[in-house]
Structure 1
Amino acid sequence: MSWNSPLFVLALIAISTIGWILTTAIRARHGYPVEGEWGGKVDHPDAARAAQLLEAENEMLRGKLGRVEERIAVLERIATDPAKRLSSEIETLRDADTGRAPSETN
């Protein structure tokens, strides 16, 4: 094969194409972002959906965390408040549940 033949040019194109396919396959297998035709990154089609699911889960967990923090604050207040104040609040809640006024207690 001579350097001036069209087969040499076709062989160079084939070798370049096979090398590009192999490097792209190796990059994809190992989790690297795949490059497009002109070197731009190609996103994985499920990546956007996975990000949306993670954002929804994060919002749910933030809500749960907020409720847990509120409950802990109530438990801390119960544990640190004097017994007299706690018993008066319980009585107020009982009175509110039965419909009596707080001043009607024994």
Structure 2
Amino acid sequence: MNDVASWIWVLIPLAAIGIAPFKMWLRVKEKQLDRTSELTAEKAAQHVTRVAELEQRVRVLERIMTDGGIHTAAQIEALRDLPASSPTPEKVR
């Protein structure tokens, strides 16, 4: 019985000393989780933006496909007739 009591007095300070590295390890893990969640949120936002862009493009394609073919061909030909509006060096100055 006396041996157990003497070990308790040794184990209590050792446990107190061992808690500090454990707390540091927990802080590191918490920071890692925070960073991972930030990166995940950034990627999710990028995906939302990309999906919105793709949905807009699909809407345009649907409108082109459901539009009358003759009307679409006329619009394409009208675009070909427009002069090129690329700026020349004189216009830029």
TM-score relative to the length of structure 2:
0.57
Answer 1 or 2: higher relative contact order, Cα 8 Å, separation at least 6.
2
Q: CA RMSD in A?
A: 3.3
1:8 counterpart residue number:
5
CA shift at 1:72, angstroms?
0.7
CA shift at 1:96, angstroms?
2.8
Aligned AA (2:5): F
Which blocks of at least 5 consecutive residues in structure 2 are unaligned? 86-93
Identity across the alignment (%): 24
Aligned AA (1:8): A
Q: Which has the higher helix share?
A: 2
Aligned AA (2:54): V
Which blocks of at least 5 consecutive residues in structure 1 are unaligned? 22-35, 100-106
Match of 1:55 among 41, 50, 56: 41
TM-score relative to the length of structure 1:
0.51
Aligned AA (2:31): P
